[in-house]
Amino acid sequence: MRIRIGHLYPDYLNIYADRGNIAVFGRRATLRGHELDVKAISIGDEVRPGEHDLLYIGGGQDREQALVAPDLVAKGPELEDAVAGGAALLAVCGGYQLLGRGYLGRHGDSMPGVGLFPHETVAGERRMIGDVLLEAELVPGERRTIAGFENHAGRTKLDSGAEPLGRVVAGFGNDGESGYEGVRVGRAIGTYLHGPLLPRNPWLADWLLSQALAHATGGEPPELEPLPDRLETLAHAVSAQRARDRGGRF
Amino acid sequence: MSVRLAVETFAARTAARMSRLAGAGGGTTLPGKLLWKLDPGAIDALAAQLPEGTVVVSATNGKTTTTAMAAEILEPRLKLAWNRSGANLVSGVASTLLAQRDAELGLLEVDEGALPEIVRRLRPRVVLLGNLFRDQLDRYGELEHIAERWRAATEALPPDTVLVVNGDDPQVGDLARDRMNAIAYGIDDVRHARPTLQHAADSRYCVRCGRPYEFAAAYVGHLGEYHCPDCGHARPELQVRATAIELDGLEAASFTVETPEGSIRLRLPLPGLYNVYNALGAAALTQALGTPLEDIRAGLERFGAAFGRFERIAVGDKTLLILLIKNPAGANEVVHTLLEGGAPNLLLIALNDAIADGKDVSWIWDVDFEPLLGRAERLIAAGDRAAELGVRCVYGGLDEEALEVQPNIEVALDRGLELTPPGGELVVLPTYTAMLALQRIVTDRGLVKPYWERM
């Protein structure tokens, strides 16, 4: 099966190893006999309905984020259509913020967002930097951990009733106080956990691939053949321990 | 010297001696930390005692090597207070100034984040700014913020301070634009330009209007000849340039340095375009101090690598080649240089995640390791984040059978040496604290002298 990925602004939003996440999709799809087709979506490009099975947007520095924000907002309705049509989506860090309703800066400046995610972000005094560990339950009854690294000044407040990606076991999370991290809207996921999020959390990569396959086939998300993941499990364990030892402290 | 300063320096120097006697290391930051506690203004006074003043070098990549090159050029004529150990925060600078009582000139490598405070206190004669790349964002924050702080620091420099900048870096070159006392250096040899900007290139967008630059040539990361098609912002005119560059694999680089005072042709015994940049910076810096071109040529030609920066160490009938990696741009140049010499089939990479390495290891995914991975017959992943590094290498095309994961650096080193054939060379790419661990191991084994005895 061919899985079509749309990678939003790879030239601008690539600050933390976003291509690592794409590489994980590629390898894990190939090992299951699928073919991954990754296309860049740049400033001015149109997102046509049904064109992508999975959309990816990464993080950038403030300057790069400001450069793409107007274009992203203009693409908002197309992205909402894609997600409503069952495409999977992973938004990391800056991309996660931009897909919310907006970002309020410290000097009263504000940047409107896409409004695809039910949250708003307000700039905080100190950056929340460190290792982080979450517990998530994307499939009812299947509780899994997600280990990663966060580095953000923004405090993201989910609307009441919105579903977070996970509960913070160690680290700051969305705002350093709610005890939650990220957001989930159906097959769309947003998170502050950047960089090699998927290499050390291969189950999450597989969940997203499975959702993308469901979009591609029009059927239910398929079970993917398990992989040994020996190194990935080890990398996850080290990262999770780091979070327990030193995550979430100023 | 005031009585207060005399007492403080005596106390701090005693602390340094005791640190060495206690075997705690070179005493490179402890006395400075003590002095800093006693009197933050003391380093200003110590610097003011140097008859030839101070010069300061900063950059994301290459500051240790550039400073060491400048030292090699200057040492025959001047007694230096030089922070050779790489202790480049305020405490390290204070310790260096304390330790060298009869020094004439302070030659100081300075951390990017510490630069504003240090230049404000030292009022240096020359400030050299080499480049800004994304580096340890968990520690330094975003590139733009460092660039803004550098801008404020350079605008506040005394008017007679000479500002030397790498004109090939858009952010750094722009700092000298409106300054009278400024020198820009860069490379002019399009034969060596890379066909495309590397994946992790920073500063692709115009510092004034945000449009993507057009690069007539990109040499190292985003360093090169750029101009903005929209507003016209472009590389400044270069006063010091490298031309006619000939790269000789892993051995050397030959090139011509053109300056307002004439040209020299030299053979630098270090490989790679990034070392051409380091040499250019050292040449421009020392020329600004009045050093004759012939001294610059001689100093650069006899230069030996700084510890862990392309250093070769003999281990019996084998050789260790240590190349520090710490961020995508620097690591990419190391990879590129290794490929020039023919990709090694055995490699040891050591990834730690202490504060000095960056706690966030995501940067390894932004390094273009792939050309090495396809050819390596054996790769040993070491350090505290060895497993993560192993994942990176396998997803980058390394055969999983070719990978060994060994977090313990000493065990990994011995395994690497065991796999190295007699007469062969083991290439080791460590992050900063992994490099310090290697330094301790080879020192303990008597293969090299401790660095404080080499001063």
pLDDT recorded at residue B380: 98
For chain B, the structural domain boundaries read 3-301, 309-454
Distance from CA of A84 to the nearest CA of B (A): 32
Q: Predicted ipTM?
A: 0.94
- Active-site annotation holder among A34, A52, A93, A119: A93
CB contact under 8 A, A151 and B205: no
Q: How far apart are CA A214 and CA A59, in angstroms?
A: 26
pTM of the entire predicted model: 0.83
B169-195 burial, b at 16+ Cβ within 10 Å, e below that, comes to bbbbbbbbeebeebbbbbbbbeebbbe
Residue of A nearest to B353 (CA): A242
A93 is catalytic: yes
Residue B199's closest CA among B455, B371, B412, B381? B371
User: Among partner residues B144, B360, B405, which is closest to A62 by beta-carbon distance?
Assistant: B144
Domains of chain A, each with CATH number or no CATH: 2-246 (3.40.50.880)
Whether the pLDDT of residue B452 is over 50: the answer is no
Q: Which of B395, B398, B404, B408 to mutate to test the interface with A (most CBs of A within 10 A)?
A: B395
CATH level 3 topology of B309-454: Protein-Tyrosine Phosphatase; Chain A (3.90.190)
User: Among partner residues A67, A235, A237, which is closest to B391 by beta-carbon distance?
Assistant: A235
A194 is catalytic: yes
Lowest-confidence pick of A96-110, A146-160, B115-129: A96-110
Q: How far apart are CA A91 and CA B304, in angstroms?
A: 47
Q: What is the mean pLDDT of residues B41-55?
A: 90
Whether the pLDDT of residue B455 is over 70: the answer is no
Q: How far apart are CA B202 and CA B132, in angstroms?
A: 8
Q: What is the mean pLDDT of residues A11-33?
A: 90
CB contact under 8 A, B366 and A19: yes
Distance of CA A234 to the CA centre of its chain: 22
Q: How far apart are CA B70 and CA B8, in angstroms?
A: 30
Segments of A49-141 assigned E as strands: 54-57, 88-92, 102-104, 110-112, 119-139
CB contact under 8 A, B390 and A231: yes
What pairs with residue B28 in β-bridges? none
CATH level 3 topology of B3-301: UDP-N-acetylmuramoyl-L-alanine:D-glutamate ligase (3.40.1190)
pLDDT tens for residues B350-372? 999 998 899 999 999 989 999 99
Instruction: Tell me if B268 sits within 8 A of B283, measured CB to CB.
Output: no
Percent over 70 (pLDDT), chain B = 88
Q: What is the DSSP letter of A89?
A: E
Q: How far apart are CA B267 and CA B246, in angstroms?
A: 9
Q: How far apart are CA B90 and CA B88, in angstroms?
A: 7
pLDDT tens for residues B147-201? 999 999 999 999 999 999 999 999 999 999 889 999 999 999 999 998 777 766 7
Lowest-confidence pick of A9-18, B212-221, B257-266: A9-18
User: Among partner residues A19, A61, A131, which is closest to B365 by beta-carbon distance?
Assistant: A19
Q: How far apart are CA B372 and CA B392, in angstroms?
A: 13
Q: What is the DSSP letter of A70?
A: H
What's the pLDDT band for A109 if we cut at 50, 70, 90?
confident
Residue B219's closest CA among B246, B188, B173? B188
